[in-house]
Amino acid sequence: MSYSIFPFPRLALFVAGTLLSSSALAAPQGTQGVQEFDPLAFPGQVVDDVVVPVPSEVFSVLDKLGEPNWRHEIRELNVPNTSDRTQLALLFGHVVAEGFVAVQAEDKEAVKEAGKDVISISTALGLTKAVRPHAQAILDAADKNDWKAIRKEFDQTQKTVKDTMEEMKDIDLSQCVSLGGWLRGTASVTSVVGKNFSADRAELLNQPMLVEHFLNAIGKMPKNTQEHDLLRSIRKGLSSVLEKMESAVDGFSKGAVSDISKTCETLLTEILVKK
Amino acid sequence: MKMTRHTFLSALTCLSLALTPVPALATVDESHDYAMEAATSFVEQGFIVREDYWNGEVKSGQKLMISHQLFKGNEYAFWLGSVNDNVELDLKVYDEKGHAIQIDSKSGNHALSIRVNPQKTGTYKIVFSLKSKKEKSVMWALAYGYR
């Protein structure tokens, strides 16, 4: 049986494992009405492209579980002046995630700060033309307190930057944007959960697939990129985070949440240090 | 100016190309447009649409699988769109135990929508296919939103 694979740049498709009969997807006898699925016996193609959730996807759940004080989670960032593109890409994701925290807090000034940081980092990355319309839209929407529009623009900004990087064959940088955003988002989540611990809140940290995705992405980067100080630290930090996630079979303890928090905070501090 | 056989044939070729149906010019982003059209009523109900999405081209009938992180407490909607005509769309979301968890499904001419209410935070498998009676390959885009 032959497979036709189509070379789209944003997609890496590969044939999954051994081909089995399509009955792998059918409900087994005796379980009528219950559809069961075994991903290891999947007879089709696996799309090896991961869409990383934006921080507000997790924040919205935390809002439903209580009323976190998002203003306490906002950080004043001192974005370093650097020409290191790996660091800039990590910083970009960090700043966009900071924007999502500011939106959750409905803090107009903090949103504007994030918008300005977005412009300055995109300028350093040479992506001003692509980003400026979004950044301007963020600033305009902040004046109108249009939080929905701001959230959409932050998401769109990140996508535009990642798409532009991918068009320029800078896929590694694009991964760094997602990584920086994920670290900042997770730091906020652990901070909120740590202040008001519950099993339901802590369960939001069950994200091993995303951590594995980032570790694989770093592992596929060229050797000299992998040897970048920040990526070496991040790789080590993510491995310890993954260990915590995988050992949380019966749920996350307060200690595990605190450990993940410390790891993310340490990495974010490193990202913000001038190289 | 006298029209030669060559210029006549060239003109005929141009005309026939201009009249050729869309598929040759279709793009995967048009599939995303259909997905977004399906998302409109969900947005009115408070769903926030993610800007990032998956897309590509696949052999008709071929099953595709995507791993995706979902969070308990959110409600999700997935929109599968295709620019190709008369395509049979199918999409299911499975939890880690292999149980299908979608709670609602709506199908149109170029798009399919489903809703999901995950009972646990973790990795879910999205399995989908697009079957065309006419085309060997089909273009697709899959987007999602949450509330």
B 18-57 near A (Cβ less than 8 A): 28, 48-57
> What is the C-alpha separation between B128 and B144, in angstroms, rounded?
14
Domain contains A1: no
Residue with tokens 């959750």: A104
State residue B48's pLDDT score. 97
Is the CB of A35 less than 8 angstroms away from the CB of B58? no
Task: Mutate one of A15, A57, A207, A257 to test the B interface: name it (highest B CB count within 10 A).
Answer: A57
Domain contains A141: yes
Across chain B, mean pLDDT equals: 87
State residue A196's pLDDT score. 95
pLDDT exceeds 50 at position B20: no
Domain contains A254: yes
Please give the tally of structural domains in chain A.
2
State residue B24's pLDDT score. 45
Q: Grade residue B28 by pLDDT with cuts at 50, 70 and 90.
A: low
A 180-209 near B (Cβ less than 8 A): 200, 203-209
Helix H or strand E encompassing B69? strand B64-70
| DSSP output for B94-107 | E-TTSBB-EEEEEE
The rounded percent of chain B whose pLDDT value lies above 90 is 76
Closest to A234 measured CA to CA, from A208, A262, A271, A209: A271
CB-nearest to A47 from B66, B120, B146 is: B66
Quick: pLDDT tens for B96-130. 999 999 888 899 889 999 999 999 999 999 999 99
For A13, the token pair is 């498709």
On whether any CB of chain B is under 8 Å from the CB of A16, the answer is yes
**CATH number for B49:** 2.60.120.380
Please give the tally of structural domains in chain B.
1
pLDDT exceeds 80 at position B18: no
ipTM confidence score: 0.86
Domain that holds residue A250: 55-271
Domain identity same for A96 and A73:
yes
Domain contains A240: yes
Domain identity same for A43 and A72:
no
Q: Which residue has the higher pLDDT, B17 or A62?
A: A62
pLDDT along chain A (275 residues), means of 10: 37 38 35 62 91 97 96 95 97 97 97 96 94 94 96 95 93 96 98 97 98 98 97 98 96 98 98 87
Domain that holds residue B81: 25-146
Domain identity same for A60 and A176:
yes
